[in-house]
Structure 1
Amino acid sequence: MPVGIQSIFEARPALDGVMQGDKPRMDRTMMAQPRALVRALAHARMVALTATAALALHGVAAHAQTQAQAPAPASTQLHAQASSGAQAPHVNLAFFYGSRVPVGELQAFDAVVIDPASGFDPAAHPLRHTVWLARTHADAAQGRPDAFVAAQIESLWQRGYRGFLLDTPATIAAVDAIRAAHPDARLVIGGDAALQAALPYSKALYAVIGPSIVRDAASGNVAAAERDARIAAAQQFTQTTGVPVVSIETCPADDRACARATAAQVLAAGVMPYVTNASLNAVGIGAIEVLPRKVLIVQDSDEDLPLDETPGVRDLATPLNYLGYDVEYANVHEPLPEGITPDRYAGVVAWLQGDETPNSGAWRAWVDARLAAHVPMVFLGQFGFDAAEDEGRALDLQAVAGPFADKIEVVTRDPMVGFEVDPKLGTRDLTGVQVGSASKSLLRVKSGEATLDQIAITPWGGFAMSPYTVVSLNGIGQERWAIQPIEFLRQALRLQPMPSPSVTTENGRRLFMSHVDGDGFASRAEFPGADYSGEALFQQIFTRYKVPMTLSVIEGEVGPKGLYPQISPRLEEIARKMFALPYVAIGTHTYSHPFEWENVDAKTGERIDRGGGDTAFSLNIPNYTFNIDREVTGSIDYINSRLAPPGKKTTILQWPGNCEPPAIVVRKVYAAGVDNVNGGDTVITKSANSWTNIAPIGVLKGPGAYQVYAPNQDENVYTNDWLGPFYGFTRVLETFDMTDKPLRFKPIDIYYHMYSGTKVASLRALDQIFAAVLKQPVLPVHMTDYAHKVLDWRSFAVARTVQSEASNAKSSDWIVRGNGEVRELHWPLTTSPDLHASRGVTGYAAGPDGTYIHITDGAARVSFDTLGALSKADALPYIAEANGFVRDFKRDGKNMSFEFGSYYQPFVKLANAQTCSATVAGRAVPLQRDGAYVRFDTPALNALEAHYQPVEIRCER
């Protein structure tokens, strides 16, 4: 009997056998130990009845908050069981009964129990590796089991739940009826005396919730005698039935140390833990701990300043993205968000530039609440309150009285200070604080008798006061970081190295894409041989370089109802033939190409007339009044109906103008069923050498409104706004190099406009750029592939395994989960994965900034060979590099099988495979030596979709 998605942990033979109908083995087991099991369960019930009754986690969530206590010392029996090698079947099960379900974090678990009363819609959040289970309610379990199935189970199944928690006698009695209606449903039994109640149904169960072993919601620490009895009963039940027992333990929501230690104790007992808060509305710790990958940036920006132009987006988000963290934004002038808790947020960074913060008392209260919840916090520029007052002592700060009028001398200075610029510190810049002994000063200065700290790492986070953030170089219109932001944020927010999802690389090769905005499609070519820019590009670029590329048009420039109806037939003819190229994806550049998106009302989406005339806002199309739907869905419908060949549709909208659309417009694009890209200003070059010139991955404008930024900027920037030199776009090769080494910030994107087809110099520049890029180890992809990776990156789950108290492991394994779009991990160290112990890892390759690990189908368990103990004789073959995509990877000893597809010049390079053979689609292919590797090539198709073929690598005969 199938049980659905399998756990990422090691296989559970006993449970799998039960669920697949291994009746003879189960029957023999039940006959061998029934009396011992019944006695153990009865004893456990007697000593724990009060606790299990109070532990309403199995029915109605307990609301009594547990007092913060250290986990009770492990009992003698617990240690004895651990040392005897007791191993529980793994079940990666979580429980969440809150209203704001953190889908991204919870996808690290195989199954999650949700309270349907929260309003959560599982059908809107399908996960590739996780199933949603519904907590059932006793009030609906009246009458016969089939009536309960009809009344509650069927509606929950239709909503997208694929399993159920049954925790009352009436609901448990419906197990057989549920199984008959939905054989694949995952069933979990809980409630009072759950182990006894589950016995008759054990063959149908996914897991059973036993009583708490270390800490429960009612009484805190479980007494040693009760604990030993509960452990014995849980282990006896699992050994007899093969069904894992989960122990729900409680710690305060903000005490992750308590949860971590408690989970380790339960694991040592051979039971599966889930440690959460009493209300079950936090991401708990089980056999794994999910690392939060979100950081909140709080700014004091002016209301009229678009979010895209704030320093949090322009400068700060990029180093956080590089470290693997997604960013959300808040404004200190507006109500600040609640729910910023350590299970969901890695930290808060407040970048305040104003001299004063209105209502600084409320701001300080919000900060204190975050610090009390153990959320690391960093202040940049200013604190926003008087941190030198007596209450600042809670921050390990001491007041230093001013004014400071004497010469400033540096006492101590960390190497990360003065990263790109070393600002001259004036006495007016000084913040009158000095850190205490629990903190580490990064910049200590003296002014007369006063000693002050302007940058520090503190017990709660850290701070860098103005001007030691980003310094504006007004003379040349650029900015520079005064402190190394990546290392500073890593230390201040306590960000540990993790295998983070990568949107820059796949299978060891840097991603490469190209997209073209439609501007200038109606422009005449300034040389013989082609009439319009699009025709020139078609002849010299689009058909010469048969790589994935996304081309777009502006309907108001090309269409018959636009600016140029007389030449529209010819322009449409060119557009049709370029869209018909098999490797070209279709984008829209809107209908009228709005330039200034701040002139669109953020609430209504209507145009705001700020003066300047129609031409200052968009193309001045006769008889047209701006309308969002016309810009988005209207232009998509036009392209699909008049320009796209059969079988092709518009797949992406490429933002025009200043690329700063409000959230309401971004949501319209998602509602239209297409992706979006453009914006951001990645223009770093040798003459503009600063990380401030590298844009983040994108920006969250609001719920459901994430704008994907272009990986780098277009030729307009490199040609002085198209004033010349028109070969200037070749300097983008500097950008490509500087966003790759020493740190790989970005993939490669050759991004330009149709007007680049008007001049000989710009066409030659494009030719040089394409030729240079294709000589590099790149993996060509479509822009939509990249956009999908970005969205997957945002919700991608990274977790580490929890080591039991008795474990001798030197380090934790890592569990990573996504929807399958991201298939590469960036490990910032040089250690390599242990392929013997890892699962879902296809290979790895050294990169400029660490190790890039290839994974398959969006999920893996990664173990590292930290001691370098594996010998060459034990080395397994693996994929070192591939110019394509790998899916459905399987390893059998030293043999491998997978499906492989590519858009352009596909090949696979294998390590440790000199004696291996390969077949593709059942046909033997030669393996060619390539240094220390061997490789094979497959035919290129140059199609819009990758064509996958089965590959077999045989290394054992």
Structure 2
Amino acid sequence: MRTLSRSIGSTLASIFAAALAMTLLPARADEPARQPSIALFYGAPVPVGQLSAFDAVVVEPDSGFSPSAHAAQSAQSKWFAYVSVGEVTPVRAYYKDMPPAWLKGSNAAWASRIVDQSAPGWPQFFVERVIAPLWERGYRGFFLDTLDSYQSIARTDDERAQQQAGVVAVIRAIKARYPDARLIFNRGFELMPQVHDLAYAVAFESLYRGWNQAAKQYVAVPAADREWLLGQTRTLRERYGLPVLSIDYCPPADRECARDAVDKITAQGLIPYVTDGALQTVGIGPARAAMVPAASASRTILVVQDVAPGADLNVTPGVRYVSMPLNWLGYRVEFADIAKPLPEGDLSKRYAGVVVWLDYPVPDLSAFRDWLEAQVDNHTPVAMLTTFGVDMSGDLARKLDLEPVAGRAGKRLRVESMDASMMGFEMQPQPDPHDTANVRVGARSHSLLRLASADAGNAFTIDAAAITPWGGYAMRPYAVFEMPMANQARWVLQPIRFFRAALRLPEDMPAPDPTTENGRRLLMTHIDGDGLASRAEFDVNGGTMKVSTNASPQYSGDALYNVIRQFGLPTTVSVIEGEISDNGPYPKDAPRLRAIARELFALPNVEMASHTYTHPLQWMRVTGLGKSSGDDTAEGASRANYNGLSIDIPGYRYDTGREIEGSIRYIDTLAPAGKRVKMLLWSGDCQVPASVIQAADNAGVYNMNGGDTLITKRYPSWAAIAPLGVNKDGFFQVFAPNQNEEPYTDLWHGPYYGYQRVLETFDMTETPIRFKPVDVYYHMFSGTKYASVKTLSEVYRALSAQPLMPVYASEYARKVQDFERMDVSRDGDFWRIHGNGDLRTVRLPEGRVPDLASAEGVIGYKAGPGGVYVSLSGADARFRIVDAAHAAKLPYLAEANGAVDRFTRTAQGFSFELASHVAPRFAIGGEARANACVVRANGRTLAPAIAQGRRVYSPPVSKRNESEAVHVDVVCAS
């Protein structure tokens, strides 16, 4: 029987994965312990988020993936590298160094050579040239394939014995060099008596459904082959106690095939994994409490756009405009550049849909036309914005239910008809006769905007936007109308409604939502380190206007220390190493600046962060990936810090490791006992390349900043609201929920009280839809002015009156990272949620709630702006959605201002533990039954206060430690 696919061609770099990844089955009654869930994925890039649910993941190392680069996102030990022991293909780097005498045969189906396992020196060569480089890249597990390929070159019992001894020698050599290495054997059943004690698990392929590589076909497995395999597995499990993985193959679109295979494999007591024949999609493994769901809900949308050379993704329309409404709908976003190869194959199961935004001519029209037709043929919903990218005529136009329109618009265009539910959202369409897409829709489509010539006698009529059988489109400028002179834009299209309709997104899918936890909008504070060396221009202790003297200088940090201590909210404080170090620009002030940093970090409500070493202003330029003014060379980029692009440190040239990990280690030396740096706050334009984000991940910290959310009454547009962040080659940059004080104070030209207007931003990202949490984000400069410090206090006081949940910036960043990884799937009438436990809120449409009577992992819910916010107890949940009027009349936790743990529902009510960063508060919901509940905190009965129709409780805690966990019991009359 054939083993796994093992060669990675050049096309793999363009293949993305997006099928559902599931996790563990509970142990069977006849199993001694829970079995690991194992996935295999040989495409590129590796979708870390989707694979995070599995205990072990086998990847093709030639895809470029390195576990050490993703240590902050998932356990490094879970990653296994695919390695072929019995065969080698010429594409492997070590192939050219193998003596020809070692290669004894060929395998035409895989274009590989069979290795003589008895060759002297082969075990040492394999460890040194194959395993050791992978160990250096962070792999701690290895999937050993082709263990039985020797059978095609061994003709006698003696030859087979020599070959088997050679394979055993290779396996033992790996464990001798790396005792902690975990090994999965693919077959090699005859070797088990000698090496079973070295195995993490044993795998085999095709118990029920197989893949014929030569014929490129999916096949059913003959019963005789299956019975032989089952006999082998009984020996592995009963004699050796090893977990056994069955890898079966089904077409990605055939969910029934996958469901049937998983059910049958599981019934045999084996670990199932069902994927496509080339292992290019994330397949189906065991779930925590059920088998394969009836229908997966892919949460990834592909955005295809043109990216200018040297530009960062942050400034592209896909990030600035498209991603935010898709995030709000519950979808993560991947990006593809039209100038590079696009993802191949059937994308209908990898992506929930595709959005295409093309402003410029397509480099390869024929290739794009073929790709677009393939998506329509495969029923992948596509939304096209600004232009079609290709001439819309002939067979393609007919396929898309479009009719080319001859003629010209003339001097003027007018709106003939418009669907007001989707068009004219923030401004009315402004027809431009000089920029038209000359098409009309057919009978199967719905026009959203029909334009006609306003010139007498001109019958020119076009559909500038429409919902079509294949998706939908809105041509330029009827999606977003840009106003460059004002540096603003407006949505002409209602993006949430349009994307939901064009991409056929389910309205009832629970949308993961990192704005909220336990029914309350999140509140955080983070401070960029710029300006710690700046002098305060008033007496920070007396509060009256008084310019500081050089004899006794007071710094911005002195003033902010008082504010941070006074309000006691969780605050993430960063410093720039170069600003406070002795070799920086302020050597005389440096000792006092470090002392201020220590004082700030010692506050119990302060979390430590780095704002880098030299505060690069333009990351693409200093890293050499973008153009530098007057010098486009890498050498010119390395000199950029001497051109005003960062703090000038004598003798220093830009180095990513020094900026990120170096600054973190330095700032850690200023930490009080028990603290360390948890965050990297991006500096300057925040347009950080993937390699720099990777450096932060490698340093074990979370990252944030960028995005530039700045919606105000002066800029009242959703176009001014950034998404959660941006995925850059598998590394995720978390955006700050809103912009800092600089634009509100006109870049510190005044008014210095301008940050009061951030309350407008908080209001406009809360109603009518909650798009963002609250983030009081500012620089150390804010401590220099009496007006700015007073304004900060006023902002904090205003927020103190609101029902918010205070968190640290790192806690928010973790929730955004969990948003990227979370799985949402259907299970009959139920929805299943699986994450890593950091993001604990999903949002339902207004008027819809979870049925608490049958729900698992649900704490409660609360109606809020834009929907109903469902609170989860941890990483997993399962619930049905019902109309609020038909919901079970059970008491539930409606809201809380802290983290909830150990939630347990009982016949009489429920219990939980609550840990808040501030004085704890929570409310009980559930109509009449909640009124008959007795609530105790740490055994003490609490009296409620009534607020907005809910019973609100405030358990007492020690003033010294308000973050201590409070145990709450809610007992209600039946």
Normalised-by-shorter TM-score class:
0.7 to 0.9
For the structure 1 residues 250 and 684, does the alpha-carbon distance in structure 2 shift closer, same or farther, using more than 3 Å as the test? Answer: same
Q: Show structure 1 runs of 5+ residues with no match.
A: 1-6, 22-89, 192-208, 804-811
Contact 1:602 1:663 in 2 (8 A): no
Instruction: Tell which deviates more after alignment, 538-547 or 741-750.
Output: 538-547
Aligned partner of 1:677 in structure 2 is 704
Match of 2:373 among 368, 381, 384: 368
Aligned partner of 1:939 in structure 2 is 957
Contact 2:681 2:705 in 1 (8 A): yes
Contact 2:58 2:143 in 1 (8 A): yes
CA-CA distance at 1:264 after TM superposition: 8.6
Contact 2:849 2:887 in 1 (8 A): no
Percentage of identical aligned residues: 39
Aligned partner of 1:396 in structure 2 is 401
CA-CA distance at 1:629 after TM superposition: 3.1
Q: 2:166 matched to 1:139?
A: no
Superposed, which structure 2 residues align to 1:871-890 within 5 Å? 871-872=888-889, 875=890, 877-890=891-904
Superposed, which structure 2 residues align to 1:179-578 within 5 Å? 252-253=251-252, 256=253, 258-259=254-255, 263=259, 276-279=275-278, 281-284=280-283, 287-288=292-293, 289-338=295-344, 341-354=347-360, 356-405=361-410, 407-415=412-420, 416-447=422-453, 448-497=458-507, 498-529=509-540, 531-538=553-560, 540-578=562-600
CA-CA distance at 1:769 after TM superposition: 0.5
Q: 2:796 matched to 1:770?
A: yes
For the structure 1 residues 153 and 933, does the alpha-carbon distance in structure 2 shift closer, same or farther, using more than 3 Å as the test? Answer: farther
Match of 1:820 among 829, 837, 840: 837
1:521-576: per-residue Cα shift (whole Å, max 9, x none)? 12222223454343442454111111110112222222222112122222222221
Contact 1:813 1:864 in 2 (8 A): yes
For the structure 1 residues 165 and 445, does the alpha-carbon distance in structure 2 shift closer, same or farther, using more than 3 Å as the test? Answer: farther
For the structure 1 residues 11 and 665, does the alpha-carbon distance in structure 2 shift closer, same or farther, using more than 3 Å as the test? Answer: closer
Instruction: Tell me, in whole angstroms, the C-alpha distance in 2 between the residues paired with 1:544 and 1:900.
Output: 24
Residue identity matched to 1:417: M
Superposed, which structure 2 residues align to 1:82-93 within 5 Å? none
Instruction: Tell me, in whole angstroms, the C-alpha distance in 2 between the residues paired with 1:783 and 1:540.
Output: 20
Instruction: Tell me, in whole angstroms, the C-alpha distance in 2 between the residues paired with 1:302 and 1:715.
Output: 30
CA-CA distance at 1:295 after TM superposition: 1.8
Q: 2:919 matched to 1:899?
A: no
Give the TM-score normalised by structure 1: 0.76
For the structure 1 residues 417 and 343, does the alpha-carbon distance in structure 2 shift closer, same or farther, using more than 3 Å as the test? Answer: same
SS at match of 1:863: strand
Aligned partner of 1:749 in structure 2 is 775
Instruction: Tell me, in whole angstroms, the C-alpha distance in 1 between the residues paired with 2:57 and 2:883.
Output: 32
CA-CA distance at 1:836 after TM superposition: 2.1
Instruction: Tell me, in whole angstroms, the C-alpha distance in 1 between the residues paired with 2:58 and 2:620.
Output: 43
Instruction: Tell me, in whole angstroms, the C-alpha distance in 1 between the residues paired with 2:907 and 2:804.
Output: 30
Aligned partner of 1:86 in structure 2 is none
Instruction: Tell me, in whole angstroms, the C-alpha distance in 2 between the residues paired with 1:221 and 1:652.
Output: 51
Instruction: Tell which deviates more after alignment, 889-898 or 496-505.
Output: 889-898
Aligned partner of 1:928 in structure 2 is 944
CA-CA distance at 1:664 after TM superposition: 2.5
Residue identity matched to 1:939: V
Contact 1:113 1:164 in 2 (8 A): no
Aligned partner of 1:650 in structure 2 is 677
Instruction: Tell me, in whole angstroms, the C-alpha distance in 1 between the residues paired with 2:338 and 2:624.
Output: 19
Aligned partner of 2:88 in structure 1 is none
Contact 1:602 1:662 in 2 (8 A): no
Q: 2:642 matched to 1:614?
A: yes
Instruction: Tell me, in whole angstroms, the C-alpha distance in 2 between the residues paired with 1:400 and 1:638.
Output: 65
Contact 1:525 1:532 in 2 (8 A): yes
Residue identity matched to 2:530: D
Instruction: Tell which deviates more after alignment, 441-450 or 619-628.
Output: 619-628
For the structure 1 residues 639 and 136, does the alpha-carbon distance in structure 2 shift closer, same or farther, using more than 3 Å as the test? Answer: closer
Match of 2:664 among 636, 647, 650: 636
Residue identity matched to 1:139: L
Residue identity matched to 1:542: I
Contact 1:599 1:607 in 2 (8 A): no
Contact 2:446 2:468 in 1 (8 A): yes
Residue identity matched to 2:281: A
Match of 2:49 among 104, 111, 115: 104
Give the TM-score normalised by structure 2: 0.75
Match of 1:659 among 661, 686, 689: 686
Q: 2:52 matched to 1:19?
A: no
Contact 1:830 1:850 in 2 (8 A): yes
Residue identity matched to 1:548: P
1:357-380: per-residue Cα shift (whole Å, max 9, x none)? 232122212222333333222211
SS at match of 2:281: coil
Instruction: Tell me, in whole angstroms, the C-alpha distance in 2 between the residues paired with 1:659 and 1:878.
Output: 42
Instruction: Tell me, in whole angstroms, the C-alpha distance in 1 between the residues paired with 2:318 and 2:63.
Output: 33
Q: 2:855 matched to 1:838?
A: yes
Instruction: Tell me, in whole angstroms, the C-alpha distance in 2 between the residues paired with 1:114 and 1:326.
Output: 22
CA-CA distance at 1:886 after TM superposition: 1.4
Contact 1:140 1:152 in 2 (8 A): no
Contact 1:347 1:376 in 2 (8 A): yes
1:384-408: per-residue Cα shift (whole Å, max 9, x none)? 1101234321222111112232653
1:807-832: per-residue Cα shift (whole Å, max 9, x none)? xxxxx211111112111112234211
Aligned partner of 1:39 in structure 2 is none
Contact 1:509 1:883 in 2 (8 A): yes
Residue identity matched to 1:880: A
For the structure 1 residues 278 and 527, does the alpha-carbon distance in structure 2 shift closer, same or farther, using more than 3 Å as the test? Answer: closer
Contact 1:514 1:548 in 2 (8 A): yes
1:50-77: per-residue Cα shift (whole Å, max 9, x none)? xxxxxxxxxxxxxxxxxxxxxxxxxxxx
For the structure 1 residues 770 and 401, does the alpha-carbon distance in structure 2 shift closer, same or farther, using more than 3 Å as the test? Answer: same
Superposed, which structure 2 residues align to 1:765-804 within 5 Å? 765-801=791-827, 803=828
Kindly tell me the number of residue pairs found equivalent between the two proteins: 826
SS at match of 1:428: coil
Residue identity matched to 1:827: L
Instruction: Tell me, in whole angstroms, the C-alpha distance in 2 between the residues paired with 1:898 and 1:163.
Output: 41
Superposed, which structure 2 residues align to 1:906-921 within 5 Å? 906-912=920-926, 913-921=930-938
For the structure 1 residues 452 and 558, does the alpha-carbon distance in structure 2 shift closer, same or farther, using more than 3 Å as the test? Answer: same
Residue identity matched to 2:491: W
Instruction: Tell me, in whole angstroms, the C-alpha distance in 1 between the residues paired with 2:78 and 2:582.
Output: 50
For the structure 1 residues 270 and 440, does the alpha-carbon distance in structure 2 shift closer, same or farther, using more than 3 Å as the test? Answer: farther
SS at match of 1:18: coil
Instruction: Tell which deviates more after alignment, 160-169 or 502-511.
Output: 160-169
Instruction: Tell me, in whole angstroms, the C-alpha distance in 1 between the residues paired with 2:695 and 2:452.
Output: 55
Instruction: Give me the CA root mean square deviation.
Output: 4.5
